[in-house]
Structure 1
Amino acid sequence: MEKRPMSTITHEAEVQRQHPRYRLPMRCLHNGEPVPVIDLSVGGIGVKLRALDVKPGHIVDIILAFPFDGYELTLPMRAEVRYASKEHGRVGMRFVDVSPRQSNLLRFVLNAYLSGEVVEAGDVLDVVARRNEGKTREIPQRQQPVGLAASAAQYGRSMAGYGLIIAATVLLVGFIGTGIFQRLYIIPAQSAMITADLVTVPSPSNGQVTFIAAGNEIQAGEPLLTIQGPQGTSSIVIDSPCDCFVQARYSRTSNFVREGAPVLVLREKTSSPYITASIPQSDVLRFYRGAQAIVEYTDGTRVRDVPIEPIPTFSDDDAAAEHFLVKLAPGRKLDDSAIGQPVSVVFDTFSGSRIRATTQKISSGLSWVKTTTASLLAKGMGRTNTRQAGQQTESYNGERVANLK
């Protein structure tokens, strides 16, 4: 058998070329003229520059000729010129409009050259007749359960899986819905505490405290405290402005105080503890549309629907502040010792929303329809009973008449 010259394989980096190039004993024809071949790959061909006068982007028709024992295989191809390098004397072309048969035949020829096999004409015909299709792989069917117990177990697993999916979906929807509801309709108070209407008694001048009323209750007009002026000057006596409880003492007898410094804090006997809560200025408009307060105390007690005192008018001074104060009734009995304790307050504005108003209208409409339907049914039943009673009376009278005759 005649020996063929060994083929040379040239590899390039993957970023430069997709397919390896081969140097094979073959010919290339363009317009009937031979063109020296440098190398060949599945995706294109490289020829010498002086044999072609083309520019990048041109489409040329070429014929690839492969010599075998006793015959020569020709394969017409179309190629696009990608580059023409004068430095390397090379024209690189890429095969375009390649049919599946052309691709199969080119791969077969390259593999035959590389393996050194003798290619016969029948082999080429088999490759040309080969269809570029693959069989669809059949998926094996799942075995059906046999017996009542196996069927019940499979059904139970299926129901458990569906149940888990439904439960996860419900939890996810609930989580998202809760977040949306809190963002749209819940206003948490920035700060809240228990307080009362207090009166702070300051020192009228610099001096020494010589008298402070004892006890926790003081009547209106009673002496409250006495301040001795510096260097034995005249004393100043302050009387109680109300019937009050002493809420706090900031100084004692014989202490020196400065003018304006707080000495006592009083709370009127008629004043009850209440809650003040501050909300952001950006949520004031939502608050005015209607809100329900929920208060949680330090002992864990939670009170819902806490009454909200009449909301004060929103003034320019409030607009300049960063928060808006709201007064709340405590909703439970509080001791005086609770004054000053912090609490947690949350405002629910859903009651003043359009969705709530629409829901109430729909509920009222359904109630009206239910009441009207019940009334009509009652009237119909009353007429039926009256008609039946009349028929029974006529029949009874007829029987009496018949017996008398």
Structure 2
Amino acid sequence: MSEQVTHEAEHNRQHIRFRIPATLCINEHTFLTTDWSVSGLSIDEFPLHLGQESHISGHLIFNFGDYDFRVKVNVEKVRYDIESAHYAGRFSELSNQTVSLLHYLINAYLSGEVVTAGDLLAIAKQQQGVTKDLDKRLEVERTGAEAFIFNTKRFLGHVLYSAIIIGLLWFISFTIYNRAYVVESNKVDISYDEISLRSPSDGLFEFQLKPEQSKLKKGDIIATIKRVNGGVIAIESPCECDLSDVFSQTGVFVSQGEKLISLRPLDYKTSVTALIPLENVNKITTGDNAIVRFSDGHIIEAQVYTIQKHPEIPEQAIVSFQLMAPLSDKAADQLATVRIESF
């Protein structure tokens, strides 16, 4: 059995030398130590060019097989035998932490926690130690009811967590989609083809239609004006129309040119336009789908028909729409918003 510990008093030294496997690494070249202590080390077959240096720096390495334990050291030459290439040196400028680490390794070796295995070191297995399976988690034993409640709570927690994640992803996706592909406007104008009848002269207004009559033929007398100087002037329907609105009442004095009656031709056309910021024009094109929503909740699908710059407001654009369904008679009297989706 090879000698592992040598008391340095045999050689007039103050520290015990240990033959614990260790190597000195200098510039990626390693040298196996003959023995070492907390004060220094010795090496056989040490190169001449390094043995002649007064000071060398490197790492003292303790190899545990799967990992290395390294200590940075500065070594001052004590002697170097050229014939035998034996080198001896003392450690200099060791920090308190480094000395403590070396003492810790020595104490572990002396107590048997660290043993030699050829040129390697190994951790000794304690015979009376407790072996634990780290793959197994500590589980609390529960009764059937407790296990059911626990599993239910864990399941609900997973569901809540998943719902939160899905909600956040949906919100982020919805926000990105709206910013990139959706243009909205609440400045919507709805107008019809309309014919306005005005008073031909000053006089008293007399409405001639029955209350339930709204359909008119060309030439039907809608109202009369009794002139102040005498005489009656009839106001006739110029087309086959629907009576849209009457702006005066029988017996009321009206002035010449005053708007009295509004008619809507049977083949009238509806115009829906909206103002959008000019910076959003590049997001839409003709043919994009749109939704017109009225204040009473009524919704009509539409498509972008034309896009043009506003002649009076430079930062606005006028977008007209082609409706996919006819509007009700009351639609023009309601507030509306439009949503354009270009995706």
Q: TM-score, normalised by structure 1?
A: 0.41
More helix by share: 1
Q: TM-score, normalised by structure 2?
A: 0.47
